[in-house]
Structure formats: C-alpha cells, structure tokens
Structure 1
Amino acid sequence: MTSGKRLILNCCIVLGVFIAVAGCSPFVENNEIEEISPVTFWYMKEGKKGKISMSTVVPPVGLEKKRLFSTEVDMIKQVGKRFNLNYFNELKNGQLRMVMIEENLADKGILPIINTLLSDPKIGPRLYLIIVKGDFDKYILSELKQSENFDFYLYQTLRHFEKANQGEMSIVNLHQFKNQLYTHFSDPYVPVFRTDGNQFTYEGTGLFRNDKFVKVLTGIDDQTFQLINNNRYLKFLTIPNLSIVIGQARSTVTFDLNQNNTALSMKVSLNAGIEEYTGDKNLQDQSEFSALVHDVESELEKKTADIIKDMQNIRVDPLEVGGEALFPFTKPMSDKAWLKRWENMDVKVDYQLNLRPIVNTQ
C-alpha cells in the first residue's frame, strides 16, 4: 500500500515538473520563431460605422516580400485574430515599438487605445506614440516600393532624437503619456507628423485636453515649447523676425503663483550663443549688442505669452502649472476648479538672456 502511494506521489511530482517547465499552465502559446512574425508598429485610423481601421506591415524581418495588412475592428484586441486568419505566421505584438494614430481618431479621444495598450503585458511601456496628419497607409505603400525597412528607419529616427535630447522634436512614449494623462493638473502632448503619401515629416507638438487631441504647436511656437517645458534645451533656435539663429540654448524655468492662484509669474533664464546673424546691428558695439539681446528677450516673452494664452483658451495645462498650487496640509482643488482658475489667470513672462557673441576662430 505504501509503495502504491509513493508511485502516485512520484507521478504527481513528475507531472508538476513538466508543468513548471512549460509555464503556469500546461497549455502554452506557440512561440516557435519559424511560426511567428513580430509586429513593430500599428497605424490606427477611423473606420466605417464607428470601427477602428488598423494597419501593419508583414513580415517586419525576413526575406519574404513585405506587404501591407489592414483590417477594421470594433476593439483593438480583435486585430490579432483578424490578421492571423489571413497570414500563415502568427503575428505577435511583443516587439511593438510604435503606434501611429490618425488625427481624426485622436480628436475624438484615445483613452480606450491607451488603456488597452497599458493592460497588455506583452507590450512594453516604451513604445512611441505619434499623431499622423494625412493617409499613412498611402505612405506605407509608397515606401514599400523604395525601401522595405522604412519602419525600422523611422523607429531609429525617433530613438535617435530621444537619446540626443536636442529639443528638435517632442518624443513621447506610452509610459510618459500615461503619467501625464493620469496626473492631476496635467495634460499630455505627443509629436505630430504629416504625410502627403510620399513624405513623412515632423510638424510639431500636439497638445491634448485629457485624451483628446486639440492643437498642434508648429515652427517657433514648437521650439519655444521645447525651451519652457520639454527638453529645456535647443540645439538651434531660429528667430526670423530678428535675423538671428541662437544655438546650444539651455533654459531654467520657474513658476510663481500668487496666494489666490489668480496670477502667474514665469521667469526663464536662458543661456545661448549666436550661431548666425544677418541683421544690421554691429555686434562689436556693446550698445547695439545689448539692444539685440533686449530684442530677443522681448520676442521670446511675446511668443511664450501667446502660447500660454492659447493653452488657457483651449483649457490645457501641459506645463503642469497646477502642480504649483499644491501645498502640504491643504485640500487640493479639483481639476475642474483648477481649469477655471487657469483659463482666467493673469500671466507675466520674463526672460533673462545670457547671449554669447559669435567667436572668430580664425
């Protein structure tokens, strides 16, 4: 009898070992490399009758000729099954690196998309988020005729600008967007790209009210935003009105709210050097050089004040100014109460510029 119990016990132990090796369940997913195709990006846009149209390219690696896969779904989780029914390898999203969302879809809110991505344990939080103006599917088909690795090159471009941290474009990943979205008195922002079907170019920084895309900052407005909020560094800052390009610009920004949270004083200390100047001032003359510094300060103060006024008008706070209204041992305001104060707040902007002159190295 005892030997019989030992035999049963031994069988259970052996079975347990097999289950442990296979995973928590004896029924595991197929992850053989020869039978899967990792997905590197998704493009999402409005479909018909409230559906979402999703596209990707298969295979992302390998010798097989790449092709565009598109399908319409009610919910994102359906896309894997739809693709797998039309492709001989199983598509896996564990290598998902970029999610491009069409402008019209982003206008209506992307909270369901963000929450679905966050809840999928196979998807890492470091994937890049991009808003796209124009038909990205058309651009994909155009690029596949020229370079089948365009998706890899795009990922490398985003990765480069994220690492370089030069302030030339806003690079935002899922983790950062989630933090901005779920933090009190904060609104997310995302890079915006435009395509005409043949080119894919950076347009600016897209501002969100909660999860809805509401405005894009372009040109010098976008550059100013980099200085006051995102990287607080710019490799080059072009000011056409003053015929000047300043470089290696580093800023320090401080916010000071009054006691009633009705007025904001914003001070920006900026250190930069002159990279190019084509105006009519003699920079060797101290008084004319000082006048140029004053002109640049005034121009940046006006641009910054205009940007903040636009943010107040559309009731967004990507600068997280509301965080300055939080004090220990006091009851915090609601988001609604803060936005009411924010849209009516008096804002004063003051720039202090330390401008290095052009150095003659000859």
Structure 2
Amino acid sequence: MTTQLAAESPDVLGVPAAQRRSAELEGLIAADPARFRVLTGDRPTGRLHLGHYFGTLQNRVRLQNLGVEMLVVIADYQVLTDRDVADGVGHHVEELALDYLAVGLDPRRATIFAHSAVPALNQLLLPFLSLISVAELGRNPTVKDEIAHSRSSSVSGLMFTYPAHQAADILFCRANLVPVGQDQLPHLEVTRTIARRFNNRYCDGGAPLFPEPEGLLSAAPLLLGTDGTKMSKSRGNGVALADSADETARLLRGAKTDAQRHITYDPATRPEVSSLVMLAALCLGRDPHTLAEEIGDRGAAGLKAVVTEAVNEFLAPVRARRAQLAEDRGHVRRILRDGNERANAVADATLDEVRAAMAGLR
C-alpha cells in the first residue's frame, strides 16, 4: 500500500499544527483504516514498562484493532547508536516480543520483526544519506539531545545518522503514518524530506515511490519514574510489564513524592505526586482530579497504596498472558521468524524499485 497523504498536510509542522493534524488523522482513520500503514517500534535495551504501555503500546493495539496495517520493528541494530556494545541483545529481542504479544499485538494482524533480520532495509541507508546534508543532520534537535545524553565515550557515525536510519525503517515498507511523541517530530521531518527528495530526483515526474509519512501525536501524559525523572529503561525507574506484584509494590513504596500530606493533582507544582495519581487514574479509567480528592489526607502512603493496587490489578491479565507465552519460547521465535519473512519480502520489493528508479528504469 502506497497511499499518499502529503498533499493534505504542510511540509513542516510545528507542535500545535501537528496536534491539529493528528485530530484530523484520527477522523480519517475511523472512516477508512485500510488507507493507513503504520511503522513503529522500540530498541531492545531492556524490559518495557508502564510508560511504554500508556505512551505507545496501548495506541498500537488500538490502531491494530481498528484495522490499520501495523509493522513493528525491534530495532536491535540501533542499540549501538548510544552504546559501545550490544550485550544480551538477542535475549532482549525475545523479551520485547513477549511484551508486545502480552499487551495484545496480534501477529496475524501486525508484522513483528527484527531490524537485523532485514538486510534490504539497511541497504536503503546509503542512497538516503545522499539525499540529506551533514548540516541538516547536525541541526536536528533530537540528535543534539541524544548526543548530549549519550553514554558512549564518543559520538558514533550511527548516532549522527540516526534520523536517516529511521527514515529507512519507515520508508522501506512505505508507511504513511507514524505514531510519535513531540520530541520525534524533527526525526519524522527528515524522513519526509528524504522521501520528497527521492521522488523529485528519481521519479522524473511520474508516480512517487515513497509517501511523505505523517506523525500521529499521542495524547498520553508523561509519566515520571519512581525517582521523579523521565521513566526510562536505562534508569531502571519504571514498573516493568513483567514485574511481579511484589516487585511492583516495592518499587512504588520507594517512589519520590513531596512533604505535603494532602494529595492533589497539580502537575505544574507537584509533578511526582501528580504522576502517581495519573498512573492510578489511567489504570482505573478515572479522572485524576477526582481520584486525588478521594485520597485527600491519606498522604503519600495512602496514595502509594492506591497506585499499587490499581497497577497490579491492571497488569494482572497482561502478566498472566506473558507468563503463558514465555513457557513456549519456540512459539515466540516462530512469530519473529514469520514477521522477518514478511518484512524481508516487503523490503526486497522496495529495494528493487529503488534500484530501478535510480537507474532510470522505473
């Protein structure tokens, strides 16, 4: 599917415009989900947590169930963007697949595959790099931030070219919709630029080969980790989907709050307390303001008790499903193998078309 949406949206979207366009896209998805192909995924750097669930996983399952075509990449090659080595990456790939299946991604409707298993995808990086300048890569604010927070002893070429690599991930399957956070909009604009320049340079006025994919912004709130900073796999400050009920209780008992006893929902002035309230509200399907009022003067201990019970009840079916799936690792590997085969077929066909276009034979 190569449906074009670029004519319906401006080339460069700021956050307010992207939010408005996302609302329009939701209407288009509801009316004709088969019009869309989504590429999304994660790097296998550790277990997925509740921040991932409410930030991205829940939305992927929703789009899948609406009938949107879904491709989910486990970006194992990209582990090396900010790490000197990729220790245990094979194990993490399987763990990530288990998390995906446990939350409801259906391998009959979603193609789950590993980045390293699709050689043609990575071959697109070379022609794509010829379409973007060093200066444009250097100006990318997301790359600047990732470099600033990199754990590597030096900045690798892979880190610097990360947006072009992401463009290959998205365009190999000609995805026209990418669920993103606001911080990923600059990366997506690089993908749109590469698609547009390839079409202009090599398609000679004919049908464009690549769509200019649009970003679907998530309305999910930011959840803080137990230490009050952004929830992150590398910081170990989140409740993992695979954690036991006892592990969850221990983690939440140690969560950072503040000195005020009365519980309120006020993200601007009480971010740590409000994040815990929001976490419980998301799990319970409640309004955070109302929930905070009910907790009232029960203090941090009362808040943490409510959050722990809500999280454990919410995750119980996910954990049960995950444990069941983990008993048959062969089944998980077969799902990955089938997904790799489907992704390879798509990537090989796209690469053939790219070569033909660049040779003037398309």
TM-score by length of 2: 0.26
| Higher Rg | 1
TM-score by length of 1: 0.26
Considering fraction of residues, name the structure with more strand. Answer: 1
| Structure of greater relative contact order (alpha carbons < 8 Å, 6+ residues apart) | 2
